């Protein structure tokens, strides 16, 4: 198990969806730090330590695909091309049920692809699964800026 707590980076431009994730995490008593970025550009800046905030320790990313400026697939391409970020664990959590999006995400080695509307009532089970995942899986350390 990692010696440092795992941070959760939520990259999603939708305030309602982000609030739903935060509430669900609280309900399943996940106390790990949750940091939000509104698009891939903000997410990369946090991971690279650019700006005022930087994520420390191991990171699990929940990534939406449909965002302005830099969408989720572009974000995935950017982190997989970056030697310091390429090993990060990413779950796609999106509204897109498009087979091309799924294939493109899995080509970028995501840990899972979850369609928000399919999670529906089982969203709490999804949060439980994510919590179990990060409790059991060994994570690489966060990149050093």
**The pLDDT of residue 123:** 67
Alpha-carbon distance of 10 to 63, in angstroms, equals 6
Q: From residue 98, how far is each of 59, 78, 95 by CA, in Å?
A: 27, 21, 9
**The pLDDT of residue 15:** 92
Determine, yes or no, domain membership for 2: no
**The pLDDT of residue 82:** 94
Contact 63, 91 (CB under 8 A): yes
**The pLDDT of residue 33:** 80
Alpha-carbon distance of 124 to 86, in angstroms, equals 29
Q: Which two tokens stand for residue 93?
A: 């959590």
Determine, yes or no, domain membership for 15: yes
Determine, yes or no, domain membership for 128: yes
Q: Supply the range of the domain harboring residue 106.
A: 7-135
Determine, yes or no, domain membership for 88: yes
> Within the chain, which residues score under 50 in pLDDT?
1-2
Determine, yes or no, domain membership for 61: yes
Determine, yes or no, domain membership for 144: no
The enclosing domain of 107 has a CATH number of 3.40.50.2300
Q: Does pTM surpass 0.95?
A: no
Q: How many domains are contained in the chain? A: 1
């Amino acid at each position: 198990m990692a010696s440092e707590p795992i941070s959760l980076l939520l990259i999603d431009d939708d305030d309602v969806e982000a609030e739903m994730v935060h509430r669900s995490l609280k309900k399943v008593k996940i106390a790990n730090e949750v940091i939000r970025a509104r698009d891939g550009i903000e997410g990369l800046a946090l991971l690279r330590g650019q700006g005022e905030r930087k994520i420390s320790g191991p990171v699990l990313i929940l990534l939406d695909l449909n965002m302005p400026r830099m969408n989720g697939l572009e974000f995935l391409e950017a982190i997989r091309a970056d030697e310091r970020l390429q090993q990060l664990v990413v779950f796609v959590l999106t509204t897109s049920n498009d087979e091309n999006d799924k294939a493109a995400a899995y080509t970028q080695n995501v840990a899972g692809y979850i369609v928000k509307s399919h999670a529906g009532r089982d969203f709490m089970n999804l949060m439980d699964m994510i919590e179990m995942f990060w409790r059991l899986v060994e994570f690489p350390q966060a990149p050093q800026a």
